[in-house]
């Protein structure tokens, strides 16, 4: 099977060949023809299965037939994913001069607003910032958005969660109605809310929705991934982490260490740095510029370890990752699937190691049930060696890291943001109140 036999133009196949992509993956084979045929599409895909190209290639091919204004809007839950998707659009559309615009929080709004007004061909956005743009610059950008022919909901299960609902509704409300555009919905985990969309009756004048769902007995875990666990007392997690990272088999491997909270990400990063392991972190409390820099350093292998919260667990495509370590176990088994999917991507080998303490046993059982496999015990670490050689220096480094965080006022940014949010809410409540009073007064006069 070739990309041209799926209906893509030869120049697009050539472009894919230039980035060493010659044979369509399963999701590409399934979804590209119906997208080219004008159908709405729901794609359930394994992590790292090539879903970005499954939607980007046919959208760009369609745009090239009629290159005018905003052709597509791609919504994705995190800023890093938006940047990554935009990079793929740029790579595929480099020969035909496509213009993309990334609309994400954490970066200055003025330039983004200007770029949006200049009618890029594809807008790749997180719902929060695009909704802000629509609310503040609606008149100037709505006509362009209304003409978009495609809406992509990437990582749709996350986008459809309640925390993003309002912003998502604002973004979708700014576009043409569903019967006048194609809606492409991609997700690694097909949840009930996603499935509900599939069951809706087709709108008048529309072809039925095409659905590519991963078969229920097929789990979204790559076959090239080895999953193991290490049973440890919870208060010595850092020492075990250090022992794994410095084991002779692992010293040259690049690794993502997942934690459950931003403060833990910061503390683990600082501890590992003090133990002379080149480490960067990625979490929501870092300014966007620092997040981009940290990822760039990790991609370029300047840093061997990335310590991250679940901000990085979805979709991020970093080919060099050989190991994922769950420093803490996620409460939701789907998050586990996303985390370990950061390694063993596109047919490469990878391993995941989960640090399991006494409180995590039921979580691990839930995960094993979700992925349909039992994990093996990680056999490379000797408990006596950890206690006798690693525990003391790592504990000292951790203590210093915690003191440094206190000195640097870690957590202040969140407090300031929270204060701003409360002030904004109070201001908008006051405006609403005023309007209500005004209406009442008018009504009685």
Which parts of this chain interact with ligand AMP (CB under 6 A)?
21, 23-25, 28, 48-53, 315, 317, 345-346
**Cβ closest to ligand AMP, residue 21 vs residue 401:** 21
Tokens 């990680």 sit at which residue?
378
Residues 388 and 194: their CA atoms lie apart, in Å, by 51
> CB of residue 426 vs ligand AMP: minimum separation in angstroms?
41
Q: Which residues contact 357 (CB under 8 A, 6 or more apart)?
A: 231, 232, 233, 234, 237
**Cβ closest to ligand AMP, residue 85 vs residue 131:** 85
**Cβ closest to ligand AMP, residue 318 vs residue 405:** 318
**Cβ closest to ligand AMP, residue 123 vs residue 321:** 321
**Cβ closest to ligand AMP, residue 49 vs residue 187:** 49
Closest residue by beta carbon to ligand AMP? 50
**Cβ closest to ligand AMP, residue 24 vs residue 127:** 24
Query: Rounded to an integer, what is the distance from CA 134 to the centroid of its chain?
Result: 23
Residues 41 and 352: their CA atoms lie apart, in Å, by 32
**Cβ closest to ligand AMP, residue 165 vs residue 346:** 346
> CB of residue 148 vs ligand AMP: minimum separation in angstroms?
21
Q: Which residues contact 328 (CB under 8 A, 6 or more apart)?
A: 237, 258, 259, 260, 264, 355, 360
**Cβ closest to ligand AMP, residue 21 vs residue 151:** 21
**Cβ closest to ligand AMP, residue 51 vs residue 119:** 51
Residues 287 and 262: their CA atoms lie apart, in Å, by 13
**What is the 3-state secondary structure of 45-76?**
CCCCCCHHHHHHHHHHHHHHHCCCCCCEEEEC
**Cβ closest to ligand AMP, residue 314 vs residue 398:** 314
């Amino acid at each position: 099977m070739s990309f041209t036999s799926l209906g893509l133009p030869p120049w697009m196949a050539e472009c894919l060949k230039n980035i060493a992509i010659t044979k369509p993956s399963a999701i590409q084979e399934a979804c590209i023809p119906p997208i080219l045929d004008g159908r709405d599409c729901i794609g359930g895909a394994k992590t790292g299965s090539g879903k970005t190209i499954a939607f980007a290639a046919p959208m760009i091919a369609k745009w090239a037939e009629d290159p005018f204004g905003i052709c597509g809007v791609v919504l994705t839950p995190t800023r890093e994913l938006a940047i990554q998707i935009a990079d793929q659009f740029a790579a595929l559309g480099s020969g035909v001069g496509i213009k993309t615009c990334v609309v994400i929080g954490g970066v200055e709004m003025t330039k983004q607003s200007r770029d949006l007004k200049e009618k890029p061909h594809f807008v790749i956005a997180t719902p929060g910032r695009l909704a802000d743009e629509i609310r503040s610059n609606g008149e100037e950008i709505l006509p362009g958005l209304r003409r978009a022919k495609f809406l992509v909901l990437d990582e749709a299960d996350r986008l459809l969660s309640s925390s993003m609902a309002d912003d998502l509704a604002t973004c979708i409300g700014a576009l043409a109605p569903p019967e006048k555009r194609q809606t492409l919905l991609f997700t690694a985990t097909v949840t009930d809310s996603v499935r509900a969309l599939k069951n809706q009756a087709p709108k008048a004048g529309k072809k039925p929705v095409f659905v590519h769902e991963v078969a229920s007995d097929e789990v979204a875990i790559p076959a090239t991934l080895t999953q193991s666990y290490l049973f440890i007392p919870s208060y010595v997690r850092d020492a075990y982490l250090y022992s794994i990272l410095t084991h002779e088999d692992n010293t040259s491997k690049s690794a993502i260490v997942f934690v459950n909270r931003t403060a833990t990400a910061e503390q683990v990063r600082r501890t590992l740095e003090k133990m002379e392991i080149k480490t960067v972190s990625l979490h929501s409390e870092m300014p966007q510029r620092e997040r981009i820099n940290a990822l760039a350093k990790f991609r370029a292998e300047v840093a061997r370890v990335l310590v991250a919260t679940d901000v990085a667990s979805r979709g991020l495509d970093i080919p060099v990752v050989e190991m994922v370590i769950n420093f803490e176990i996620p409460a939701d088994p789907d998050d586990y699937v996303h985390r370990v999917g950061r390694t063993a991507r596109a047919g490469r080998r990878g391993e995941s190691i989960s640090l399991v303490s006494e409180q995590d046993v039921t979580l691990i059982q839930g995960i094993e049930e979700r992925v349909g496999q039992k994990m093996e015990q990680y056999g490379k670490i000797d408990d006596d060696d950890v206690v006798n050689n690693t525990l003391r220096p790592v504990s000292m480094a951790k203590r210093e890291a915690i003191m440094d965080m206190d000195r640097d006022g870690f957590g202040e940014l969140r407090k300031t943001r929270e204060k701003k949010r409360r002030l904004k809410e109070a201001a908008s409540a006051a405006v609403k109140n005023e309007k209500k009073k005004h209406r009442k007064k008018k009504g009685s006069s």
